């Protein structure tokens, strides 16, 4: 049996993360147990808190879109949701491609006060639409990249043939691929927390791939898909996210226990958990294509990526480009996002970079990111409409 070793990059990143996560965990535990030792929390109060905590952790509801919308079209793998406030509107629409990593697409409309959709509408974009990815089934387990590109193409055609295309995370690299294949339909291209150069920066996911697939052998990933009837379960990806930062998960539970008597904290916890713990499967064929072509071979920037027999040439993208990254994003480090600027045909004056202070999820629903970065960015798109 061949022995495998961790690449140096993964060791350094793991050690740095471990110290940071340990500090977070200790801080959360100290907050609670200081109250217990000091007597501010009695044994009876502690017992009642634990009962309330257990009930809250166990309670789950399906996540919901926060803003009223109409389902304009539906395909086996996606829905097109329309948030437009006026039907008599001729402005160039914004089409949002949400993340697709085993979770519900409503992260882009997470809460009335934490919503990319509402921020876009409040910033002057009057025609706002979003795709909503549907979890894989036995009928859609073989859906391909071509199927997803076809859905985006049909959605663009339905709303007039030209859009401000915005993509978050996985939706971001899908937007990049679509824009390179159909540049004539793109007014502006915006990506947030979306890997373009999958090997840039500190590519923690790529480094873990080197451990799980030594010498490029993807048998592990194929076995997971095969064992689950041809799909990748969302819970598999959820477990991976938790494993990257396990102390964050423990700290969230400790903070819930500490604030179990505070309705606002409990409500925020429930809203997040309803989204975070509610997973949906991804088509196995699509997932394995992503792992091989993008994460492993980095074909998007290598210039070798083929979709439906066509080469994905990033230089064909000549529209204004907006790039948004999180300074502490461990899933998609900023260099992976900003790399797009080195490959597109857009002139330097029309390439705009923004970096938030937060991490990955904060890019899409964090108060600071929405207020200080998305609002002015959307206002610029509105001015171009």
> What pLDDT does 249 receive?
75
Specify whether the CB–CB gap between 316 and 310 falls below 8 A: no
Does the structure show a pLDDT above 60 at 7? no
Does the structure show a pLDDT above 50 at 5? no
Share of the chain above pLDDT 90, in %: 63
Write down the H helix ranges in the chain. Answer: 8-38, 43-58, 116-122, 145-158, 170-181, 204-212, 219-227, 234-244, 246-258, 263-276, 284-289, 299-302, 334-338, 362-365, 367-369, 375-383
Each residue of 231-241: pLDDT tens digit? 999 888 877 76
Does the structure show a pLDDT above 60 at 23? no
Each residue of 127-141: pLDDT tens digit? 999 999 999 999 999
Average pLDDT of 75-81?
98
Q: CATH number, domain at 172?
A: 3.40.50.1820
Provide the 10 A C-beta neighbour count for residue 189: 27
Give the bridge partners for 163, in sequence order. 186
Where is average pLDDT lowest: 62-66, 269-273, 367-371? 269-273
| CA dist., res. 40 & res. 34, Å (int) | 9
Residue 171 lies in a domain: yes
| Strand 231-232, strand 163-168: pairing | unpaired
Each residue of 254-266: pLDDT tens digit? 887 888 888 888 8
The token pair at 4 is 């495998």
Does the structure show a pLDDT above 50 at 15? no
> What pLDDT does 41 receive?
58
The token pair at 302 is 């290598």
Residue 192 lies in a domain: yes
Does the structure show a pLDDT above 50 at 11? no
Residue 11 lies in a domain: no
| Strand 186-192, strand 321-326: pairing | parallel
* Nearby residues of 74 by Cβ (< 8 Å), 6 or more positions away: 80
Which of 319, 353, 334 is closest to 178 using CA atoms? Answer: 319
Where is average pLDDT lowest: 89-103, 214-228, 352-366? 214-228
Share of the chain above pLDDT 70, in %: 81
Backbone angles phi, psi at 111, to 5 degrees: -160, 150
The token pair at 354 is 């923004």
Backbone angles phi, psi at 188, to 5 degrees: -145, 155
Residue 292 lies in a domain: no
Residue 366 lies in a domain: yes
Q: How far is CA 125 from CA 118, 129, 147, 344, in A?
A: 10, 10, 28, 25
Average pLDDT of 137-146?
97
> What pLDDT does 8 receive?
40
Given pLDDT bands bounded at 50, 70 and 90, which one contains residue 16? very low
Average pLDDT of 206-226?
77
> What pLDDT does 21 receive?
45
| CA dist., res. 81 & res. 69, Å (int) | 6
Burial class (CB in 10 A: 0-12, 13-18, 19+), 113: exposed
Average pLDDT of 100-110?
92
Each residue of 180-215: pLDDT tens digit? 999 999 999 999 999 999 999 875 665 566 656 666
Does the structure show a pLDDT above 60 at 369? yes
> What pLDDT does 265 receive?
84
Does the structure show a pLDDT above 70 at 46? no
Q: Write down the mean pLDDT value for the chain.
A: 86
The token pair at 173 is 């690299």
> What pLDDT does 105 receive?
96
> What pLDDT does 34 receive?
57
> What pLDDT does 213 receive?
66
Which domain does 344 fall in, by range?
70-202+308-383
Domains in the chain: how many in total?
1
Where is average pLDDT lowest: 5-14, 174-183, 325-334, 353-362? 5-14
Residue 113 lies in a domain: yes
Task: Rank 45-54, 98-107, 178-187 by mean pLDDT and report only the highest.
Answer: 178-187
> What pLDDT does 151 receive?
98
> What pLDDT does 254 receive?
83
Residue 367 lies in a domain: yes
Residue 267 lies in a domain: no
């Amino acid at each position: 049996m061949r022995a495998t070793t961790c690449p140096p990059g993964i060791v350094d990143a793991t050690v740095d993360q471990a110290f940071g996560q340990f500090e977070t965990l200790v801080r959360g535990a100290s907050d609670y147990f200081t109250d217990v030792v000091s007597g501010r929390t009695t044994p009876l109060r502690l017992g009642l808190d634990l009962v309330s905590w257990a009930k809250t952790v166990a309670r789950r509801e399906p996540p919901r879109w926060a803003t009223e919308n109409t389902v304009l079209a539906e395909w086996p793998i996606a829905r097109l949701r329309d948030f437009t406030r006026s039907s008599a509107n001729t402005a160039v629409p914004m089409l949002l491609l949400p993340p697709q990593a085993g979770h519900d697409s409503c992260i882009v409309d997470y809460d009335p006060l934490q919503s990319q959709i509402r921020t876009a509408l409040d910033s002057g974009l009057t025609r706002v639409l979003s795709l909503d990815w549907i979890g894989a089934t036995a009928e859609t387990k073989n859906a391909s990249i071509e199927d997803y590109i076809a859905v985006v193409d049909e959605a663009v055609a339905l709303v007039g043939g030209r859009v401000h295309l915005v993509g978050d995370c996985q939706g971001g690299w899908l937007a990049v691929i679509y824009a390179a294949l159909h540049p004539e339909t793109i007014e502006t291209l915006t990506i947030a927390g979306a890997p373009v150069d999958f090997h840039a920066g500190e590519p923690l996911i790529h480094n873990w791939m080197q451990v799980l697939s030594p010498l490029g052998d993807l048998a592990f990933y194929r076995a997971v898909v095969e064992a689950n009837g041809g799909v990748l379960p969302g819970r598999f990806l959820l477990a991976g996210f938790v494993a990257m930062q396990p102390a964050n998960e423990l700290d969230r539970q400790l903070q819930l226990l500490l604030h179990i008597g505070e309705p606002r904290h409990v409500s925020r916890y429930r809203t997040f958990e309803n989204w975070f713990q509610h997973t949906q499967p991804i088509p196995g064929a699509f997932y394995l294509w992503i792992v091989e072509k993008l994460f492993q071979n980095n074909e998007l920037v290598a210039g070798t990526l083929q979709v439906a027999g066509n080469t994905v040439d990033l230089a064909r993208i000549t529209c204004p480009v907006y790039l948004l990254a999180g300074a502490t994003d461990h899933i998609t480090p900023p260099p992976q996002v900003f790399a797009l600027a080195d490959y597109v045909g857009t002139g330097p004056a029309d390439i705009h970079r923004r970096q938030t202070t937060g991490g990955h999820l904060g890019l899409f629903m964090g108060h600071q990111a929405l207020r200080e970065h998305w609002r002015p960015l959307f206002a610029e798109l509105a001015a171009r409409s």
